Amino acid sequence: MGPRGTGGWAGRAGAPAPGRTCLLPLLLCAALRSLRASPGSEVNLLDSRTVMGDLGWIAYPKNGWEEIGEVDENYAPIHTYQVCKVMEQNQNNWLLTSWISNEGASRIFIELKFTLRDCNSLPGGLGTCKETFNMYYFESDDEDGRNIKENQYIKIDTIAADESFTELDLGDRVMKLNTEVRDVGPLTKKGFYLAFQDVGACIALVSVRVYYKKCPSVIRNLARFPDTITGADSSQLLEVSGVCINHSVTEEAPKMHCSAEGEWLVPIGKCLCKAGYEEKNNTCQAPSPVSTVKKGKITKNSISLSWQEPDRPNGIILEYEIKYFEKDQETSYTIIKSKETTITADGLKPGSAYVFQIRARTAAGYGGFSRRFEFETSPVLAASSDQSQIPIIVVSVTVGVILLAVVIGFLLSGRRCGYSKAKQDPEEEKMHFHNGHIKLPGVRTYVDPHTYEDPNQAVHEFAKEIEASCITIERVIGAGEFGEVCSGRLKLQGKREFPVAIKTLKVGYTEKQRRDFLGEASIMGQFDHPNIIHLEGVVTKSKPVMIVTEYMENGSLDTFLKKNDGQFTVIQLVGMLRGIASGMKYLSDMGYVHRDLAARNILINSNLVCKVSDFGLSRVLEDDPEAAYTTRGGKIPIRWTAPEAIAFRKFTSASDVWSYGIVMWEVMSYGERPYWEMTNQDVIKAVEEGYRLPSPMDCPAALYQLMLDCWQKDRNSRPKFDEIVSMLDKLIRNPSSLKTLVNASSRVSNLLVEHSPVGSGAYRSVGEWLEAIKMGRYTEIFMENGYSSMDAVAQVTLEDLRRLGVTLVGHQKKIMNSLQEMKVQLVNGMVPL
């Protein structure tokens, strides 16, 4: 019990008295109440505020720490321990907790809330008064460890108060509550004890919360990731494999990384709903199989069938697959695909039994096959009579099918909000299904829409037609080459409404503009990858003509990074780069060369997933404001383009890799403009002469090396996209490999000196310097606090920055690194400060 005269907690000792309200200052009670809920990714092992009965802690010696029984206004106990032996020499008061199980966690966190008396405010010469206490732990597999000696405890830290309080504060009933968090790990036993050692301070330990962090179970990309306890090391990222949810299968092994902070980072891979299952709210539900199949016209060589849509289509049926084979000859079967609910299987043997099975396909894939239906062709008849039937049968079947198609088409377009069926060239359908033999799924390759004589046909081959009435435009978010870009919502039949981006074609377009505009959809529609912007469909049957894609909440990557300068961890940035590389690997595997890969053409969503976009047909020539005419007349985004593509238009996946290196540089420098304000001509010249961009600030050496590899003059020496993906995966799995940064002096040696903002000569003012490193927002604060010349600025320390209110670590680093760099340059005699 602290001496009353010194301003201890007089009048608050003793057992909790029923009916008493919280006797701690009001402010403290309110603060405690608001602190009861713990964040989702933290799991409490102990929270002294929620223990209803005795805590079972032991004080030694007995007259040291003492528990003061308090209850809050709901009569819940507040276990507060206090000690205040500031007048007595040689204090050594221990408070030992009971045994705490770590529940398998190997790193635990301890959050202490306490108040501490300011020694200066105590009367008399208080040479003995302390303003700190010590926290210890001792690991033990069971409760037997309780009797171990104090000197076997391992010290965690000395705890000091950010705010100590005085007599005055007590008078005002204001309690300055301190919160300190420490972590301990790796733990190797099943549990531990904590101990608090007082050596002569006036402390009230108001609460102790012990917890570990976990990445909570989530479903991402249709894979379930389990509750994962974070790693033992504070910088460790645990790679966790996801398990595909029911009715889904692995497309690329789903993985995520659980950070020490309990956040899921860098999702990789995904699962897809199985054939016939549709993705809805992170689950896959199946469309039912076709149940009713009826035979139509039967000849000696053909069988016509019709069927009804499945009872539960679970989405828009895009087509049916009809599998058939001669009875008992199942190994040799034929597949026909039809957008209608009728087909005629021809080329059959007369008088033979055939088995048919039908399944429907929605956007999510194929449903299950129907049961087997068996029908028999007609036996051979006399040649004359049979021959005479053919023209009649052909005419009637054709007319019937056409009529049925017209009626169905009419009903679909008029009544439903959904994709209308693309018209197929009958010849092509016949060719496509020639003999109907199963088409083995091979490596898909990109089809250039230019190879289509009629570009409209290409659009409808690869893009679904959407009814304009299904789209609600909400607001304009930007301007594209062909018209406005809007955000809005798409509501398709049988699906939940979801946000989309809508590119529109402005009125008064020429036929060429329309073709070029829709060309992008013809290209985008061929891709299906988590890091490629997904095409929902097109509106071509009404005006305005529109391209509808998935909505990316954070817009273009370059703008997003500029807006959030210095705010991401290296792992988050590498996660973005990994996504872009994975999308580019997919494109290069498909034989598609992007030609305009740049951060402005990457979109980023709310999960920080990056997707490659901008697939315009003549985009490189027309659309990109960065594209400039070369001497050969082509229009090329010079700063992003490989030398061989600029010089002789050799655009390949290897030139895309060069651009990818520039994107890496943009990302690591938070949207800095490559080569700053150098002219395009100077860029071409410098690159030809072997100069390369310097490393961005704080860039891990491994990443800068990868950039340099992408900028190899010999395009065959550049890494391939699959190698880039593997390399980034390796870095993500082993984050300590990202800790080695390119140091300031080696950065200087790589500088395109005249053009680097840091190397561009002496800054005329503090404002100019801060602007150059994009920290202009702090100019006023610097000036107001006496840092008005570059000489004064050169003396700034990290502590000064904190004092000035530069609290973001990224910003602190940026400023300190720039200063450091200027000093290095000064030493080298390069830049006079």
Among positions 215, 552, 610, 646, the unique one binding ligand ACK when judged by CB under 6 A: 552
Residue 584 or 693 having the CB closest to ligand ACK: 584
Scanning 149-157, 476-484, 633-641, 817-825 for contacts with ligand ACK by CB under 6 A, the matching segment is 476-484
Tell me the residue ranges of DSSP E strands in 631-694.
635-636
Residue 24 or 535 having the CB closest to ligand ACK: 535
Among positions 273, 318, 603, 773, the unique one binding ligand ACK when judged by CB under 6 A: 603
Residue 215 or 533 having the CB closest to ligand ACK: 533
Closest separation in Å from C-beta 487 to ligand ACK = 6
Would you tell me the crossing angle of helices 653-668 and 570-589 to the nearest 10 degrees? 170
Among positions 314, 334, 549, 582, the unique one binding ligand ACK when judged by CB under 6 A: 549
Distance CA 470, CA 492 (A): 6
DSSP letter string over 548-606? EEE--TT-BHHHHHHHTTT-S-HHHHHHHHHHHHHHHHHHHHTT---S---GGGEEE-T
Neighbours of 677 (CB within 10 A): 9
Helix (H) or strand (E) holding 297: strand 293-298
Scanning 19-27, 54-62, 472-480, 725-733 for contacts with ligand ACK by CB under 6 A, the matching segment is 472-480
Q: Comparing C-alpha atoms, which of 571, 586, 483, 475 is closest to residue 533? A: 586
Closest separation in Å from C-beta 627 to ligand ACK = 15
Which amino acid belongs to residue 822? Answer: M
Closest separation in Å from C-beta 533 to ligand ACK = 6
Closest separation in Å from C-beta 489 to ligand ACK = 13
Distance CA 106, CA 108 (A): 7
Question: What is the token pair recorded at 470?
Answer: 């299904």
Scanning 63-71, 406-414, 546-554, 620-628 for contacts with ligand ACK by CB under 6 A, the matching segment is 546-554
Q: Comparing C-alpha atoms, which of 292, 294, 242 is closest to residue 271? A: 242
Distance CA 64, CA 84 (A): 8
Question: What does each C-alpha distance from 617 to 449, 519, 631 come to in angstroms?
Answer: 8, 6, 22
Closest separation in Å from C-beta 549 to ligand ACK = 5
Scanning 134-142, 549-557, 565-573, 819-827 for contacts with ligand ACK by CB under 6 A, the matching segment is 549-557
Residue 79 or 503 having the CB closest to ligand ACK: 503
> Is 328 one of the annotated active-site residues of the chain?
no
| 473 lines the binding site for ligand ACK (CB under 6 A) | no
Q: For residues 345 and 305, is the Cβ–Cβ distance under 8 A? A: yes
| Alpha helices (runs of H) in 689-808, residue ranges in sequence order | 701-710, 721-733, 744-750, 766-772, 779-784, 790-793, 798-804
Question: What is the token pair recorded at 366?
Answer: 């194929």
Scanning 68-76, 478-486, 761-769, 792-800 for contacts with ligand ACK by CB under 6 A, the matching segment is 478-486
Distance CA 373, CA 371 (A): 6
Instruction: Give the chain's count of helices (H) and strands (E).
Output: 20, 40
Distance CA 218, CA 264 (A): 9
Residue 198 or 672 having the CB closest to ligand ACK: 672
| 670 lines the binding site for ligand ACK (CB under 6 A) | no
Residue 559 or 820 having the CB closest to ligand ACK: 559
| 477 lines the binding site for ligand ACK (CB under 6 A) | yes
Interface pattern 219-258 for ligand ACK (x via CB under 6 A): ----------------------------------------
Distance CA 381, CA 671 (A): 78
Residue 426 or 478 having the CB closest to ligand ACK: 478
Among positions 289, 365, 367, 480, the unique one binding ligand ACK when judged by CB under 6 A: 480
Closest separation in Å from C-beta 467 to ligand ACK = 20
Interface pattern 517-536 for ligand ACK (x via CB under 6 A): ----------------x---
Catalytic: which of 596, 614, 656, 729?
Answer: 596
| 160 lines the binding site for ligand ACK (CB under 6 A) | no
| 344 lines the binding site for ligand ACK (CB under 6 A) | no
- For ligand ACK, how many residues bind (rule: CB under 6 A)? 13
| 750 lines the binding site for ligand ACK (CB under 6 A) | no
Residue 97 or 487 having the CB closest to ligand ACK: 487
| 377 lines the binding site for ligand ACK (CB under 6 A) | no
Residue 289 or 555 having the CB closest to ligand ACK: 555
| 686 lines the binding site for ligand ACK (CB under 6 A) | no
Residue 548 or 741 having the CB closest to ligand ACK: 548
Closest separation in Å from C-beta 554 to ligand ACK = 8
Would you tell me the crossing angle of helices 701-710 and 721-733 to the nearest 10 degrees? 180
Among positions 231, 315, 555, 719, the unique one binding ligand ACK when judged by CB under 6 A: 555
Q: Comparing C-alpha atoms, which of 133, 136, 139 is closest to residue 150? A: 136
Residue 164 or 556 having the CB closest to ligand ACK: 556
Would you tell me the crossing angle of helices 653-668 and 721-733 to the nearest 10 degrees? 30
| 700 lines the binding site for ligand ACK (CB under 6 A) | no
| 501 lines the binding site for ligand ACK (CB under 6 A) | yes
Task: Strand 248-258: give its sheet, edge to edge.
Answer: 238-241, 248-258, 264-273
| 559 lines the binding site for ligand ACK (CB under 6 A) | yes
Q: Is residue 503 a known part of a binding site?
A: yes
Q: How far apart are the first and last CA of the chain?
A: 60
Closest separation in Å from C-beta 461 to ligand ACK = 22
Residue partners of 603: CB distance under 8 A and separation at least 6: 533, 552, 554, 555, 556, 557, 610, 611, 613
| 583 lines the binding site for ligand ACK (CB under 6 A) | no
Question: What is the token pair recorded at 101?
Answer: 């199980």
Q: What are phi and psi of 398, to 5 degrees?
A: -60, -50
| 504 lines the binding site for ligand ACK (CB under 6 A) | no
Alpha carbon 509 to chain centroid, angstroms? 37
Closest separation in Å from C-beta 558 to ligand ACK = 8
Give the CB-nearest residue to ligand ACK: 478
Scanning 406-414, 473-481, 584-592, 645-653 for contacts with ligand ACK by CB under 6 A, the matching segment is 473-481
Closest separation in Å from C-beta 501 to ligand ACK = 3
| 561 lines the binding site for ligand ACK (CB under 6 A) | no
Distance CA 819, CA 826 (A): 10
Distance CA 440, CA 367 (A): 19
Among positions 341, 362, 370, 556, the unique one binding ligand ACK when judged by CB under 6 A: 556
Closest separation in Å from C-beta 616 to ligand ACK = 11
| 551 lines the binding site for ligand ACK (CB under 6 A) | yes
Distance CA 185, CA 236 (A): 12
Closest separation in Å from C-beta 485 to ligand ACK = 4
| 601 lines the binding site for ligand ACK (CB under 6 A) | no
Q: Comparing C-alpha atoms, which of 159, 154, 219 is closest to residue 193? A: 154
Stated length of the chain: 833
Residue 397 or 485 having the CB closest to ligand ACK: 485
Distance CA 259, CA 253 (A): 19
Neighbours of 255 (CB within 10 A): 19
Question: What is the token pair recorded at 659?
Answer: 């651009």
Q: Give binding residues for ATP as ranges.
A: 503
Q: Which residues are identified as catalytic?
A: 596
Residues near ligand ACK (CB under 6 A) are 477-478, 480, 485, 501, 533, 549, 551-552, 555-556, 559, 603
Q: Give binding residues as ranges.
A: 503
